[in-house]
């Protein structure tokens, strides 16, 4: 195993400083500071040195030295992770932020090769310039990076049509824990020459190596997107509606409960309710179609059917770019809106889509029995079964005073929710990953055969435990 954290002037740290260009490292606490906290203020870190290599060769040099000195490394992308996987506790911190180059865009092969430090937003812009689409969208896309979204297998709103990040990657370039460079960059859709090694790094949270670049899959741009927001009565109706709307054009199916929807439109500037009266639940859908006319025809037919089946109370089709963006904005602000509901205990889980109603029935009852009066705000990606099941503290005259006592129940509520998720065949981490936050939970709850395999892979790839050693396995 890797040795304990090294000090600022240990031989290993000195070797790094001697081997790397001056721009590729710093020990300046002011420069390092923002890399040691994250936006939820849950994790605070420390490191003897921040490495900022500009090339894959510099990453390889750095990792080789760390391996020789058995110094553990924490890789960091845009520092937007939600489970503490990017925060060092004495390890060497390696940020990919200077490796931002788009190496190649190939619209014929529908492929783009880009370095790990490029933001998701930069990927969108490069794809757009080639008249192509990269379908992953996240609220953090201005900050989060390719290396981070690949390492955490980020999800988002379009998974029901395009899959999670790992489905959007042809291959990666990665520096292995011994400093060797694995080159899996390719735009080949068919290549049956061995195990899918690139895939091992996707969702591995930096525990098997450091992704330095990737070839991403691009898609033809849909010519038109028809966006519809619907007011509906219940979670059961949401699932029934999903089945009716399902088809090759359906690219998004997001659901929000009234309490979360109201927290946005009532509190956040420029947000407004597109409906004339409140509804228990809201659904936001996108249909990728050839033309505005085709979209209107498709949506009209689908809605007629859904109204006839009693599944929809009201519906609005976006008629302009402004309306399109306004509808999306409500969904994007769901997390921000919940800050107006006080303390929030957050869960990121998946259940099989057909079990969503049963999940809500059981989970709502379970959390109420732990904290009577607490307010579940389960929203998100029903189209792929992923629910951000957040629980707001009970309404009271003194929310601020009661906040900490409520948040102290985090683990109790998590365990109750995870029990239900496990019983339904779901996942305790849908898209945020394991990191530090859920490492113990995974070790306790995962099938022992799976857990043993995870550890066998980790040991085979990183026998000295250099790579992000406190994370995941």
Of 100-159, which residues contact a copy of itself (CB under 8 A)? 106-110, 152-153, 155, 159
- Hey, what long-range contacts does 445-452 have (CB within 8 A, 24 or more apart)? 445/418
Q: CA torsion sign, 360 to 363 to 365 to 367?
A: negative
| SS3 (DSSP) at 439 | helix
Interface with a copy of itself, residue 434, by CB under 8 A: yes
Chosen residue from 115, 254, 271, 384 binding a copy of itself by CB under 8 A: 384
Residue 230, beta-bridge partner list: 283, 315
Interface with a copy of itself, residue 220, by CB under 8 A: yes
Token readout for 424 is 């339904």
Residue 467 near residue 177, CB atoms below 8 Å: yes
Identify which of residues 247 and 372 has a Cβ nearer to a copy of itself in the complex. 247
Interface with a copy of itself, residue 203, by CB under 8 A: yes
Spatial distance between the Cα atoms of 419 and 422, rounded to a whole number of angstroms: 5
302-341 core/surface letters (b: 16 or more CB in 10 A; e: else): bbeebeeeebbbebebbeeeeebebbbebbbbbbebbeeb
Chosen residue from 248, 270, 276, 400 binding a copy of itself by CB under 8 A: 248
Identify which of residues 42 and 272 has a Cβ nearer to a copy of itself in the complex. 42
Spatial distance between the Cα atoms of 7 and 4, rounded to a whole number of angstroms: 10
Residue 213 near residue 151, CB atoms below 8 Å: no
Residue 381 near residue 157, CB atoms below 8 Å: yes
Interface with a copy of itself, residue 450, by CB under 8 A: yes
Chosen residue from 4, 7, 243, 444 binding a copy of itself by CB under 8 A: 243
CB of 222 to a copy of itself, least distance (A): 6
Distance, CA of 452 to chain centre: 25
Chosen residue from 13, 94, 210, 472 binding a copy of itself by CB under 8 A: 472
Chosen residue from 194, 276, 321, 322 binding a copy of itself by CB under 8 A: 194
Interface with a copy of itself, residue 242, by CB under 8 A: yes
Residue 419, beta-bridge partner list: none
Spatial distance between the Cα atoms of 445 and 419, rounded to a whole number of angstroms: 9
Site string for a copy of itself, 15-54 (x = CB under 8 A): ----------------------------------------
Half-sphere exposure of 419 (CA within 13 A, CB side): 10
Identify which of residues 92 and 437 has a Cβ nearer to a copy of itself in the complex. 437
Spatial distance between the Cα atoms of 109 and 186, rounded to a whole number of angstroms: 10
Identify which of residues 48 and 465 has a Cβ nearer to a copy of itself in the complex. 465
Interface with a copy of itself, residue 430, by CB under 8 A: yes
Interface with a copy of itself, residue 316, by CB under 8 A: no
Q: How far apart are the first and last CA of the chain?
A: 13
Tokens 């890789």 locate to 75
Interface with a copy of itself, residue 239, by CB under 8 A: yes
Using CB under 8 A as the binding rule, the residues of this chain from 332 to 351 that contact a copy of itself are 350-351
Interface with a copy of itself, residue 461, by CB under 8 A: yes
Spatial distance between the Cα atoms of 7 and 91, rounded to a whole number of angstroms: 9
Chosen residue from 345, 432, 469, 470 binding a copy of itself by CB under 8 A: 432
Site string for a copy of itself, 270-289 (x = CB under 8 A): ------------------x-
Identify which of residues 181 and 259 has a Cβ nearer to a copy of itself in the complex. 181
Interface with a copy of itself, residue 436, by CB under 8 A: no
User: Binding-site residue total for a copy of itself (CB under 8 A)?
Assistant: 88
| SS3 (DSSP) at 89 | strand
């Amino acid at each position: 195993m890797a040795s304990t954290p090294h000090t600022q002037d240990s031989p290993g740290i000195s070797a790094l400083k001697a081997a790397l260009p001056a721009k590729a490292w710093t020990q300046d606490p002011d420069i390092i500071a923002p890399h040691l906290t994250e936006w939820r203020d849950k994790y605070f870190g420390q490191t003897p040195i921040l490495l900022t290599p500009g090339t894959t060769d510099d990453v390889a040099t750095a990792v080789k030295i760390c391996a020789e000195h058995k110094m553990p490394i924490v890789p960091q992308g845009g520092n937007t992770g939600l489970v503490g996987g990017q925060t060092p506790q004495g390890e060497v911190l390696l940020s990919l932020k200077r490796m931002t180059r788009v190496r190649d865009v190939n619209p014929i092969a529908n492929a783009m090769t880009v370095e790990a430090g490029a933001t998701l937003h930069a990927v969108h812009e490069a794809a757009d310039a080639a008249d192509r689409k990269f379908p992953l969208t996240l609220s953090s896309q201005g900050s989060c990076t390719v290396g981070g979204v690949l390492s955490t297998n980020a999800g988002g709103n379009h998974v029901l049509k395009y899959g999670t990040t790992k489905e959007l990657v042809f291959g990666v370039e990665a520096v292995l824990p011994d400093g060797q460079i694995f080159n899996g960059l390719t735009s080949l859709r068919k290549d049956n020459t061995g195990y899918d090694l690139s895939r091992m790094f996707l969702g591995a949270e930096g525990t098997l190596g450091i992704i330095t670049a990737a070839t991403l899959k691009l898609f033809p741009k849909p010519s038109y997107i028809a966006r519809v927001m619907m007011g509906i009565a219940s979670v059961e109706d949401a699932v029934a509606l999903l089945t009716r709307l399902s088809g090759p054009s359906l690219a998004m199916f997001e659901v929000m409960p009234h309490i979360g929807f109201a927290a946005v439109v009532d509190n956040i500037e420029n947000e407004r309710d597109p409906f004339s009266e409140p509804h228990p639940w809201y659904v936001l859908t996108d249909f990728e179609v050839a033309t505005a006319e085709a979209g209107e025809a498709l949506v009209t037919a689908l809605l007629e059917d859904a109204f006839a089946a009693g599944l929809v109370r009201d519906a609005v089709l976006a008629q302009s770019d402004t309306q399109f963006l306004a509808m999306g904005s409500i969904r994007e602000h769901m997390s921000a809106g919940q800050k107006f509901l006080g303390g929030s205990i957050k869960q990121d889980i998946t259940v099989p889509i057909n079990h969503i109603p049963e999940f809500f029935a059981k989970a709502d009852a379970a959390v109420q029995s732990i904290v009577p009066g607490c307010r579940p705000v389960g929203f998100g990606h029903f189209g792929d079964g992923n629910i951000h099941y957040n629980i707001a503290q009970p309404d009271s005259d003194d929310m601020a005073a009661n906040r900490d006592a409520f948040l102290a129940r985090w683990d109790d509520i998590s365990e109750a929710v995870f029990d239900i998720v496990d019983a339904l065949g779901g996942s305790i981490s849908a898209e945020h990953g394991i990191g530090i936050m859920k490492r113990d939970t995974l070790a306790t709850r995962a099938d022992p055969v799976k857990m043993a395999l995870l550890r066998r892979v980790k040991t085979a790839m990183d026998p000295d435990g250099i790579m992000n050693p406190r994370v995941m396995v």
